Amino acid sequence: MLSRRKLLQHVANGSSLMLMPRLVLASAEPTKYELVAELTTHRFKPESKGLSSLWLYNGSSPGPTLTATRGDEILVKFTNRLEQPTTIHWHGIRNINEMDGIPNVTQAAVEPGESFTYRFPVKDAGTFWYHAHNKAWEQVARGLYGALIVKEKQNVSRERDVVLIADDWRLNKDYALDEESFGNLHDWSHGGRLGNWLTINGQSEPHIFIPDSGQIRLRFINAANARKLAFQLANRQQVKVISLDGAPCEPFNIDTIKLGPAQRMDVLVDITANLNALNEVSTRKKFAAARFLFLSDSNVGVSRVNMYDAKPWYPMPKLENAKIVKIHMQGGAMGNLNSAQFQGEERPLRDLAAKNSKVWAFNGKIGGYDLEIAKLSLGETSILRIWNDTNWDHAMHLHGHHFWVESKEFGDSPKRVLRDTYVMTPGERADLVFIADNPGLWLFHCHTLEHHAAGMGGVISVT
Ligand code: C2O
Ligand code: CU
């Protein structure tokens, strides 16, 4: 006869034995998503006649917000229902190279009608985003992007965690996507294709619901091809920056949230009660980009945002023995580049512009997915020593790694920060410092997507 106690023991033993393999399985189970790139018609302004042909993930703009917990593996079954090849890049994820989504560099582009499964671990918590990386200047501008949020393992309060993904669309006079301007050489050689219609989370001036007291975390993402955006809360309320491009930073206060193309910034707002409008202030015409509204039955237990790391992923490395890679950026309108090498041949810039739409160069060479700009040894401390010898801003982005930079983006005194995209102003020189600890072929390019297409990019190999 079994006593109750023995029975419990028995059950406990039995179940723990039985649970063992299941637990292992459970943690090995990836977080699964399905994404389909497809044509979706959309009316930006309800009462207008203009109908836009957007290319979206799962028919929504932005694409679905993918979330995972640090340490998870993400599995995305992707299907391409567009009429041209595409890939997905997971911007800011220190990814395994085969999953980085670069056509002809890390994978063959996904052809129309075909599928590809992306599967990769997410070792860092933070604000990331995903976007098309084939002809990105058009595919991203037509809407192929979404947010990818990796949370800490600690308890999460969804209501206190708000994603704001911003984009500027270029609409014509009928409020439809201006398709005629795709590929416009003037944009490509100047500041890129700037839009005239701002959306936050796919909507113009949306209502963002938040709790009426306590703290919130705002995760800003700039998905625009080329525009630098700047946001302020009503009354220029101060916010605390806690993360840049997904990587935690030593917290600091600001009143203007500036974001170059592809950049992200997470900020904490201490008192939600004062929130009203979110204003866009990058041009002389300040306007409301979104409005905060309070959840009516705001019963969000905790009043503070869940835990966050306050330390960058890795400290600024020591520079003795660092490998220095010099990159002299030239070209564009009003620039000093007269000729450049393209596919092994030196040609006048005018000719390259007219025949190939190429106008930017690194060290005298027109870049692309096949230009190797550096060979680094695995684990090597590396410095990309960049000189922006052009008359334009460039949002320089490195794949697979975050770099340290003495940033001039936050006011008068430079600030050393870890990030994956850095906006360089005309004439600026900067050192991007990183440890090349991720093997593979990694792009380094301007995230003004027209500039990349027009020659501003190359590949760094880490072996
Ligand atoms: Cu946002 Cu090459 O990428
Ligand atoms: Cu650029």
Cα dist from 276 to 219, 291, 294, 352, 432, whole Å: 17, 6, 10, 50, 38
Q: Evaluate if residue 156 carries a pLDDT over 80.
A: no
**CATH class of segment(s) 323-462:** mainly beta
Q: What is the pTM of this model?
A: 0.93
pLDDT tens readout for residues 103-127:
999 999 999 999 999 999 999 999 9
pLDDT tens readout for residues 268-298:
999 888 899 999 999 999 999 999 999 876 6
Instruction: Tell me whether domains 4-153 and 161-299 share a fold.
Output: yes
pLDDT tens readout for residues 250-260:
999 999 999 99
What percent of the chain clears pLDDT 90, i.e. is strictly above it?
A: 86
Give the per-residue pLDDT at 311: 87
Nearest atom of ligand 1 to the alpha carbon of 129: 1
Ligand number nearest to the C-alpha of 451: 2
pLDDT tens readout for residues 216-225:
999 999 999 9
Task: Name the band, by pLDDT with cuts 50, 70 and 90, for residue 8.
Answer: very low
Distance, first Cα to last Cα, the chain: 66
Bigger pLDDT: 305 or 326? Answer: 326
Q: Evaluate if residue 19 carries a pLDDT over 50.
A: no
Least confident of 7-16, 147-156, 244-253, 299-308: 7-16
Nearest atom of ligand 1 to the alpha carbon of 91: 1
pLDDT tens readout for residues 76-100:
999 999 999 999 999 999 999 999 9
Give the per-residue pLDDT at 306: 67
Dihedral sign, Cα of residue 13, residue 14, residue 17, residue 20:
negative
Give the per-residue pLDDT at 159: 79
Dihedral sign, Cα of residue 196, residue 200, residue 201, residue 205:
negative
CA of 447 to the centre of ligand 1 (A): 6
Task: Name the band, by pLDDT with cuts 50, 70 and 90, for residue 158.
Answer: confident
Ligand number nearest to the C-alpha of 145: 1
Beta strand pairing call for 31-42 and 52-57:
antiparallel
Phi/psi for 140 (5° steps) reads -75, -40
Give the per-residue pLDDT at 2: 38
List, chain by chain if needed, residues with CB within 6 Å of any ligand 1 atom.
89, 91, 131, 133, 262, 397, 399, 443, 445, 447
Give the per-residue pLDDT at 26: 46
Average pLDDT over residues 298-314: 75
CA of 159 to the centre of ligand 1 (A): 29
Bigger pLDDT: 160 or 166? Answer: 166
Ligand number nearest to the C-alpha of 455: 2
Task: Name the band, by pLDDT with cuts 50, 70 and 90, for residue 3.
Answer: very low
The closest residue, in CA terms, to atom 1 on ligand 1 is 91
CA of 291 to the centre of ligand 2 (A): 32
Give the per-residue pLDDT at 25: 44
Burial degree of 285 (CB within 10 A; 0-12, 13-18, 19+): exposed
Ligand number nearest to the C-alpha of 445: 1
CA of 246 to the centre of ligand 1 (A): 14
**Residue 151's closest CA among 252, 249, 74?**
74
* Architecture of the CATH domain 4-153: Sandwich (2.60)
The CATH label, of 1.10.1670.10, 2.60.40.420, 3.40.50.620, 2.60.120.10, for the domain at 161-299 is: 2.60.40.420
Beta strand pairing call for 239-244 and 264-269:
antiparallel
Give the per-residue pLDDT at 221: 98
The mean of the pLDDT values for the chain is 92
**Where along the chain do its domains lie?**
4-153, 161-299, 323-462
pLDDT tens readout for residues 313-330:
999 999 999 999 999 999
Nearest atom of ligand 1 to the alpha carbon of 102: 2
CA of 54 to the centre of ligand 1 (A): 20
Q: Evaluate if residue 436 carries a pLDDT over 50.
A: yes
CA of 393 to the centre of ligand 2 (A): 6
CA of 440 to the centre of ligand 1 (A): 16
CA of 315 to the centre of ligand 1 (A): 24
Ligand number nearest to the C-alpha of 394: 2
Nearest atom of ligand 1 to the alpha carbon of 92: 1
Average pLDDT over residues 27-45: 93
pLDDT tens readout for residues 388-417:
999 999 999 999 999 999 999 998 799 999
The closest residue, in CA terms, to atom 3 on ligand 1 is 91
